[in-house]
Structure 1
Amino acid sequence: MLTAFKRIPRTLPLLAIALITAPASSSDAPPTVNIAAGTLSGIHDARTGLDEFKGIPYATPPVGPLRWKPPQPVATWTGTRQADRFGPRCMQSPIYSDMVFRSNGVSEDCLYLNVWTPAHGANAKLPVLVYFYGGGFSAGDGSEPRYDGASLAQRGIVTVTVNYRLDVFGFLALPELAAESPEHATGNYGLLDQNAALRWVKRNIAAFGGDPNQVTIGGESAGSMSVSAQMASPLSKGLMQRAIGESGAMLGNLKPRPRALAERQGKDFERQVGAHSLVQLRAMDAQALLKAADKKDVPEFRPTIDGYFLPRSPEAIYQAGEQAHIPLLVGSNSQEGYYTALLDDKTPTLANYHAAMNKQFGAHAAEALKLYPASNEAEVKASATTYEGDQFIAFATWRWMNVHRQTGQAPVYYYYFVQPRPAKRDGSAGPDAGSVHSGEIEYALGNLAGNTVFAWTDADHRVSDLMQDYWANFIKTGNPNGAGMPEWPATASKDGGLLRQVIGVDTHVTVDRNAARAEFLQRTDPNAHL
């Protein structure tokens, strides 16, 4: 199911990012907005011309008796609340070395969002992007500079980043929690947080100049998986009009846990920490719970088919055409995985490759080797890298694209991002061979300048400008195309494959013929019955 998320941090070289961000400059009179809960005071950035509002609460802090409860409406306040700095990030361990935060520490009190807007007043009716961060549902934060909303906001979009509960705090499932729930549901508190944020946007975004009826949801990795789940959930229908998924979906081999399994794992965890009741669990120190959840023998806390937010698996919902019928821009990168993971760091010989594929597929190994062929060391590296990328996240992304294309009654724009990051500025590493997992984020959101680890070239900036234009056009119209840009057709069958946009220095349309690989992985998935 989601074991790949546990494997990736240990097997892929996650690159540390050193980011230098200057404080926003403020005018004498900070911008203010009136929302349902009260008045907010933000920051006007004279360099960008944007108004920024950070650390806005969208729900009551989920602490004490509200731990493992669906998000509750935020309390109103009197006077003016300062929204000039990021709120705390949700409880998490520092497991990803490429995450840099501007947030105010770590806390269970973390249900905050951030808004960048080019509008200086209400009712401008600008399109809106709500972006969910990645991090395997175990880490991440809306303050990360790679998700900064300023660049897209300068293209006429009200941009929002959202914090949501993670790990054991976001996804613990227990029979006792279901028993106290009016909907008899348990787990998925992090996904319910995202839904609450979308409802907040629907109610309040006009005050920031956004159009509540022109909302695009987007995200990368676990954030992209979240987008696929929000589209599937009956609770979120009508809250978004378009969707962007960057590498990830809750279909294929990344489907959510069955509720019975999630509840068994929750009971095992309860016993491990020595708790005998919900009262005791809710009274436990948050850091102690997080430390216990991070032990190697504890299954990862992940989304669940809870019968409420997800009445059935997303796979079944999409196959039945019951998802939100909205345009989807979706794709993955050229190096989502790396051959060393499959070979367990052994030499990339044909013998080692065949042994590894036999271990993975057993009786299906011969078929796998036809789909991921190799006759020399270079081909072993290429095919093993392709397989690892598919198995990690590209296959699930393909599955989402293909099923929504068939049943979603809306255009799908499918991409393949190939631009490798350049050499590091300090000379410690050369350019990546391909576009690694998460490598597209700074390009798509316009945040290359905030990442000072890499020696970005003019070519990188050109690719970023084009990608931002595609993303911005899609957010505004549901179609990424625009004047003077390489044409990006909606996905459709052609010449035995599907049309797909290759995005990089040479951006062009190709015919993707990877359906056989995806169908093989679907058929041989050991968790296909779940």
Structure 2
Amino acid sequence: MSPVSMRMRCILPAAVFAFAAASVAAADSAPTVVTATGSLSGTHDAATGLNEFMGIPYAAPPVGPLRWKPPQPVKGWTGTRQADRFGPRCMERGLYDDMVFRSNGMSEDCLYLNVWTPAKSLNEKLPVLVYFYGGGFNGGDGSEPRYDGAALAQRGIVTVTVNYRLDVLGFLALPALAKESPEHATGNYGLLDQAAALRWVQRNIAAFGGDPTQVTIGGESAGSMSVSALMASPLSKGLMQRAIGESGSIISNLKPRPLALSKQQGEAFEKRAGAQSLEQLRAMDAQALLEVAGEKDVPEFMPTIDGYFFPKPPKVIYQAGEQAHIPLLVGSNSQEGKYTNLLNDKAPTPANYRAALEKKLGVNAPEALKFYPGKTEAEVKTSGTDFEGDDFIALSTWQWMNLHRKTGQAPVYYYYFTQARPAKRDGSAGADEGAVHSGEIEYALGNLSGNHVYAWRPVDEQVSQIMQGYWANFIKTGNPNGAGLPNWPAATSKDGGLLRQVIGADTHTIVDHHAARYEFLDRVEANVHL
């Protein structure tokens, strides 16, 4: 069944809640649920009171002839399937040193999700968070401790993490694949996986005490980009009621590639891999494909404007107001990039800074200096860090926020996360200067204690409590505000800027005046590869 034919199906009444009665009292009780495809046995955590179900298949294994096909339905099983450990993570090259996995190895057979639930009965109808990991669409896994769902689940939220295909196995586009597709589409298999997971939630989350009409999707970096994509796609935009985006969208400088370009790059990859046909490419070892994908000058595999998941460019969809009209909580961090990257580790002098901007922006460099001035060493460090962060991911985040605020017919809550992580426990590095890319995840999801690298301080715990409170309230109501939290107004115009919430040791509202610099970057993005 294709994603279109599976889209927007009703919740199956057969998805029955059957938690073992003893699970509330005994740590060794095995909670069970009956989903649309069969019975599952999970684990009960007596310390948290949660029932946890790991490694639940939401689609058929995308192997053999199903490699580079939209996700297919799971085959049902008899008896009770153990859901007490994370499934395998999707094939990846191991590009990121900050990823810690609890997965059961790595495999193409990786389309699994995980559920943490505080529910004790079928009738609770709790709000649901479905969270997608980051990693540039070529790394990451739902088992990472920083995405653990227990903390938010203890706040009354059924929390789900999802694996989706990555890299060449998730985003290869080829004319031969388009030819065999009923929709003449190719690429975006990882995004189609995510949409399939959301359909699984619609059919089955009631069995875990969740409410399929109160689903929030969230994610960081590539996960945030995925959220913006799912809101735009006609295949998925009706499957959620709220959205959270942490650093990144699929608009502006991170927009998907044109189909023709992706096909051209796919054909070049096929030739480089030594395959003479799609059949041969499907028969190749997955690890060998990843090795070719990692060779010099091979473009990264990213989303494509395929005419199916994306019927048109996402920016056009948002400009026309054709995206999901749902509340959005979105923002970025104070140090998404750093001036040292721009300067290629040269001294932060005004002359080096100007030369770096000229190399990157050409004739646009003088105008850039108006928005990112660098007349002193201190100014170079500040402006260079701002530029690198905007260039990398804050620009696309702002574009998403701004377009949805104008056309989304729903509130938008815009944040700026500033809490720098502390020194490392082993003394190998001091505290970060600002909030680095991905640095907010453990704070927002309540997982500081799961990250043993940093010497967390009471202030970090305080910031995490505030951030968890905002996230939990938004997931439950579409509004982050609640008792004991600093007031967070929706993003509305004021004093020539836009209301934005600074989240950190001093959480407060500011008027953000950075629209002009984002508009400048957006203008030059079309003509200059930033």
Deviation digits for residues 316-336 of structure 1 (CA, Å, limit 9, x no counterpart):
000000000000000000000
Tell me the CA shift for residue 27 of structure 1.
Answer: 2.8
State how far apart, in whole Å, the 2-side matches of 1:53 and 1:463 are.
Answer: 29
State how far apart, in whole Å, the 1-side matches of 2:39 and 2:32 are.
Answer: 7
1:295 matched residue in structure 2 = 295
State how far apart, in whole Å, the 2-side matches of 1:67 and 1:211 are.
Answer: 32
User: Could you tell me which amino acid in structure 1 is paired with residue 384 of structure 2?
Assistant: A
State the SS of the aligned residue for 2:450: coil
1:174 matched residue in structure 2 = 174
State the SS of the aligned residue for 2:104: coil
Deviation digits for residues 207-237 of structure 1 (CA, Å, limit 9, x no counterpart):
0000000000000000000000000000012
State how far apart, in whole Å, the 2-side matches of 1:159 and 1:518 are.
Answer: 34
User: Could you tell me which amino acid in structure 2 is paired with residue 55 of structure 1?
Assistant: G
2:358 matched residue in structure 1 = 358
TM-score normalised to structure 1 length: 0.94
2:314 matched residue in structure 1 = 314
User: Could you tell me which amino acid in structure 1 is paired with residue 127 of structure 2?
Assistant: P
Q: Is the 8 A contact 2:116 2:149 kept in 1?
A: yes
State the SS of the aligned residue for 1:475: helix
User: Could you tell me which amino acid in structure 1 is paired with residue 496 of structure 2?
Assistant: G
Give the superposed CA RMSD: 1.1
Greater relative contact order (Cα < 8 A, sep 6+): 1
State how far apart, in whole Å, the 1-side matches of 2:71 and 2:211 are.
Answer: 24
1:523 matched residue in structure 2 = 523
1:471 aligns with 2:471: yes
1:6 matched residue in structure 2 = none
Deviation digits for residues 127-167 of structure 1 (CA, Å, limit 9, x no counterpart):
00000000000000000000000000000000000000000
Tell me the CA shift for residue 352 of structure 1.
Answer: 0.3
State how far apart, in whole Å, the 2-side matches of 1:105 and 1:459 are.
Answer: 36
What does 1:125-140 align with in structure 2 at a 5 Å threshold? 125-140=125-140
Q: Is the 8 A contact 1:253 1:528 kept in 2?
A: no
1:114 aligns with 2:96: no
User: Could you tell me which amino acid in structure 1 is paired with residue 456 of structure 2?
Assistant: W
Using the aligned pairs only, state the percent identity.
76
User: Could you tell me which amino acid in structure 2 is paired with residue 520 of structure 1?
Assistant: F
1:505 aligns with 2:505: yes
State how far apart, in whole Å, the 1-side matches of 2:286 and 2:457 are.
Answer: 44
Give runs of ≥4 in structure 1 deviating > 4 Å: none
State the SS of the aligned residue for 2:449: coil
State how far apart, in whole Å, the 2-side matches of 1:27 and 1:362 are.
Answer: 63
1:157 matched residue in structure 2 = 157
Q: Is the 8 A contact 2:28 2:44 kept in 1?
A: no
Q: Is the 8 A contact 1:26 1:43 kept in 2?
A: no
Aligned residues: 505
State how far apart, in whole Å, the 1-side matches of 2:69 and 2:171 are.
Answer: 11
What does 1:191-206 align with in structure 2 at a 5 Å threshold? 191-206=191-206
State the SS of the aligned residue for 1:152: helix
Deviation digits for residues 324-352 of structure 1 (CA, Å, limit 9, x no counterpart):
00000000000000111110111111110
User: Could you tell me which amino acid in structure 2 is paired with residue 405 of structure 1?
Assistant: R
2:480 matched residue in structure 1 = 480
2:412 matched residue in structure 1 = 412
Deviation digits for residues 366-408 of structure 1 (CA, Å, limit 9, x no counterpart):
1100100122111101100100000000000000000000000
2:395 matched residue in structure 1 = 395
Tell me the CA shift for residue 526 of structure 1.
Answer: 3.6
Deviation digits for residues 182-218 of structure 1 (CA, Å, limit 9, x no counterpart):
1111000000000000000000000000000000000
User: Could you tell me which amino acid in structure 1 is paired with residue 401 of structure 2?
Assistant: M
Q: Which moved more, 1:139-148 or 1:294-303?
A: 294-303
State how far apart, in whole Å, the 2-side matches of 1:30 and 1:120 are.
Answer: 13
User: Could you tell me which amino acid in structure 1 is paired with residue 183 of structure 2?
Assistant: E
State how far apart, in whole Å, the 2-side matches of 1:484 and 1:164 are.
Answer: 37
State how far apart, in whole Å, the 2-side matches of 1:60 and 1:484 are.
Answer: 45
1:283 matched residue in structure 2 = 283
Tell me the CA shift for residue 26 of structure 1.
Answer: 7.0
State the SS of the aligned residue for 1:219: strand
State how far apart, in whole Å, the 2-side matches of 1:151 and 1:418 are.
Answer: 22
1:103 matched residue in structure 2 = 103
1:456 matched residue in structure 2 = 456
Q: Is the 8 A contact 2:361 2:528 kept in 1?
A: no
TM-score normalised to structure 2 length: 0.94
Q: Is the 8 A contact 2:33 2:208 kept in 1?
A: yes
Deviation digits for residues 250-288 of structure 1 (CA, Å, limit 9, x no counterpart):
011110000000000000000001111111000000100
Q: Is the 8 A contact 1:123 1:208 kept in 2?
A: no
State how far apart, in whole Å, the 2-side matches of 1:527 and 1:183 are.
Answer: 32
Q: Is the 8 A contact 2:216 2:241 kept in 1?
A: yes
User: Could you tell me which amino acid in structure 2 is paired with residue 194 of structure 1?
Assistant: Q
State how far apart, in whole Å, the 2-side matches of 1:514 and 1:28 are.
Answer: 54
State the SS of the aligned residue for 1:479: coil
User: Could you tell me which amino acid in structure 2 is paired with residue 525 of structure 1?
Assistant: E
2:86 matched residue in structure 1 = 86
Deviation digits for residues 23-43 of structure 1 (CA, Å, limit 9, x no counterpart):
xx9733300000000000000
User: Could you tell me which amino acid in structure 2 is paired with residue 407 of structure 1?
Assistant: T
State how far apart, in whole Å, the 1-side matches of 2:27 and 2:352 are.
Answer: 63
Q: Is the 8 A contact 1:183 1:308 kept in 2?
A: yes
Q: Is the 8 A contact 1:123 1:207 kept in 2?
A: no
1:331 matched residue in structure 2 = 331
State the SS of the aligned residue for 2:499: strand
- Cα distance change, pair 528–122 in 1 and its aligned pair in 2 (3 A): farther
